[in-house]
Amino acid sequence: MPRMWRLAALSFVAVLATVPVWSAEKDADPWEKVRNLKMGSDLRIYKTGVAVPVLAKSANVTERKLIVIIKNAETAINKYEIERVDYQPPPNKAVTTKTYDASSDSASMSINRSSSRDGWQTVYQRAPAK
């Protein structure tokens, strides 16, 4: 019986040793971050050989294309044309706070609005040619 437990323990350790390899393979794909963006996210897309970035909203992402909305028109951009993709997080939402005053049995409400946005974050950068 002890031999069986050793075999089970060694098998368990072998499985645990391979888990970081699986997660490292997933993180190795830079296009994965683009796939994880929410639909409607603000994007700045830098195409190869073009100085001015394309400002768009994300619609869908496939293995080979980034489908975006530019001025209410859906357009597909091939992955091989893309040099870099930047993402801008949505603005902070308004926070509503209600407070109650027990001595006067009245309630007051305050609304804190913040329209600040974080800066652009790069989510995809094409690997340099070897």
User: Domain range for residue 73?
Assistant: 2-125
| Domain membership flag for residue 112 | yes
Alpha carbons 10 and 3: distance in angstroms, whole number: 11
Count of structural domains, the chain: 1
- For residue 18, the domain's CATH number is 2.30.30.100
| Domain membership flag for residue 130 | no
For residue 56, the SS3 value is: strand
Q: By C-alpha distance, which of 129, 127, 96, 91 is closest to 111?
A: 96
| 79: exposed, middle or buried (Cβ count in 10 Å: 0-12, 13-18, 19+) | middle
Give the pTM.
0.61
Average pLDDT across each block of 10 residues of the chain; the chain has 130 residues. List them in order: 60 53 58 92 95 95 95 95 92 60 60 63 86
| Domain membership flag for residue 108 | yes
| Domain membership flag for residue 68 | yes
Alpha carbons 51 and 46: distance in angstroms, whole number: 8
Instruction: Retrieve residue 103's tokens.
Output: 């001595």
